[in-house]
């Protein structure tokens, strides 16, 4: 099962804030996928002054980590229609829809993802 990184996990990875060694080792061993929606979310939040970035070349920084890309397709967007209303964040809803459609495991701090997906690696923020 491929690992899809939630934006918050990706951001903390880029900022050097992930300290959970078993998670680091699993991501490095299995590889991880990053959705285009995460780049979109980080750049929007950066533009609003809510999220400092380590570089404005965020896509290049992500690629340099060896993560694979998951582009957003019309089928991913359409899959949002089948989601319950547990989560209101549109970025997370699209990540959830992508994970469901692609049968991926999401790595996240957000426990709400478990309401949608069977395969979630939930990390408590303090354990990151």
Domain-by-domain residue ranges, the chain? Answer: 3-127
Stated as kind and residue range, the H or E segment containing 47 is helix 36-47
**pTM (predicted TM-score):** 0.92
The span from the CA of 126 to the CA of 128, in Å, is: 6
The span from the CA of 18 to the CA of 47, in Å, is: 24
CATH, domain range 3-127: 3.40.50.1010
For residues 85 and 68, the answer to whether their CB atoms sit within 8 Å is: no
At 13 the pLDDT is 96
Q: Could you read off the pLDDT of 68-118 as tens digits, one per residue?
A: 999 999 999 999 998 988 888 999 999 999 999 999 999 999 999 999 999
At 30 the pLDDT is 93
At 78 the pLDDT is 96
HSE of 4, CA atoms in CB hemisphere, 13 A = 26
């Amino acid at each position: 099962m491929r690992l899809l990184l939630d934006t918050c996990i990706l951001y903390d990875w880029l900022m050097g804030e992930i300290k959970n060694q078993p998670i680091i080792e699993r991501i490095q061993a299995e590889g991880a996928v990053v959705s285009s929606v995460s780049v979109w979310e980080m750049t929007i939040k950066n533009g609003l002054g809510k999220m400092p970035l380590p570089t404005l070349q965020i896509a290049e920084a992500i690629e340099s980590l060896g993560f694979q890309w998951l582009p957003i397709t019309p089928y991913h967007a359409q899959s949002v229609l089948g989601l319950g209303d547990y989560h209101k964040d549109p970025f997370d809803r699209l990540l959830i829809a992508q994970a469901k459609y692609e049968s991926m495991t999401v790595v996240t701090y957000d426990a709400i993802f478990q309401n949608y997906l069977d395969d979630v690696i939930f990390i408590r923020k303090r354990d990151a």
